[in-house]
Structure 1
Amino acid sequence: MKKTSRQKGDKGEELAVHFLQQKGYHIEARNWRHGRFEIDLIARKDELLVFVEVKSRRHLAFGFPEQFVSEAQAGRIMEAAEAYIFERAWHGNIRFDIIAIKLVSSGQHLIEHFEDAFS
């Protein structure tokens, strides 16, 4: 049975969660929504709040996963992040990251973490 885009996205987010947790991050929220905007993952490490966009691709013929975050999408993520920061009265540092997951073959994947990917 062929996986849907949503199932592939969920798998990618699950891999990203485990990856971040292994690096010492605490996941504060998954698929956090503000209006029609969504942030895939919101993580915290010490006094740093990180807004993470997760991109997964099985085939790289059209480009690498990290190349699929458009300027418009980055703007929507930043707008949603602003709402999250206000709602939580966060006064620490923030960062916007991309986690790119290349799904190589069944069960195999490569993960790249692009810190401070946009601002």
Structure 2
Amino acid sequence: MPRPTDARRRGEQIETLAAHWLEQRGLTLISRNQHAKGGEIDLIMRDGETLVFVEVRHRRRTDHGHPLETVTPAKQRRIIKAARFYLQTQRLSCPCRFDVVGVTGTRPDLTVEWIRAAFDAY
């Protein structure tokens, strides 16, 4: 099996940090890195009765934009497609939400921003 790149390893660390950060705010981690045809969901969490699909984005610096700005309409469509696939394969029918967590900086100086219901499935 190939070794993960430094960038992939950093991404996994940021996703772990985001999951713990969200858990401290009352969400429960259900799954990580769910792959579906054409997309991936970084984190799947539960907020009460609501299933939350979370996209985690990181940038060390914001000179060229904030990480929250990188969740384009095309990226949103891929996440929605992956979420629908997950719901279908798990045979779930429940309220859902799409959140985005933007992390900026480098360890130990990281800033986390959370947008609940950042976009809707259409």
Say yes or no: TM over 0.5: yes
* Alignment match, 1:32: 34
Superposed displacement of residue 18, structure 1: 0.5
* Alignment match, 1:70: 72
Whichever residue aligns with residue 63 of structure 2, its letter is A
User: Residues of 2 paired with 1:14 and 1:106: CA distance?
Assistant: 13
User: What per-residue deviation string (whole Å, max 9, x for no partner) do you get for residues 12-68 of structure 1?
Assistant: 101101111111111111000012411000001221000000001101110001001
User: What per-residue deviation string (whole Å, max 9, x for no partner) do you get for residues 60-99 of structure 1?
Assistant: 1100010011111100000010011112222221000000
Structure 2: gaps of 5 or more residues:
none
SS in 2 for 1:99: strand
Residues 67-76 or 82-91, more deviating: 82-91
User: Residues of 2 paired with 1:81 and 1:106: CA distance?
Assistant: 30
SS in 1 for 2:118: coil
* Alignment match, 2:56: 54
Conserved? CA contact 2:35–2:41, under 8 Å: yes
Percent of aligned pairs with the same amino acid: 35
Between the two proteins, the alignment pairs up a number of residues equal to 116
The CA RMSD over aligned residues, in Å, is 1.3
Structure 1 residue corresponding to 2:18, chosen from 16, 20, 23:
16
SS in 2 for 1:13: helix
User: Residues of 1 paired with 2:82 and 2:112: CA distance?
Assistant: 25
Superposed displacement of residue 111, structure 1: 0.5
Whichever residue aligns with residue 84 of structure 2, its letter is E
Moved over 6 A (4+): none
Structure 1 residue corresponding to 2:47, chosen from 45, 48, 52:
45
User: What per-residue deviation string (whole Å, max 9, x for no partner) do you get for residues 90-110 of structure 1?
Assistant: 22210000000012x431111
2:88 corresponds to 1:99: no
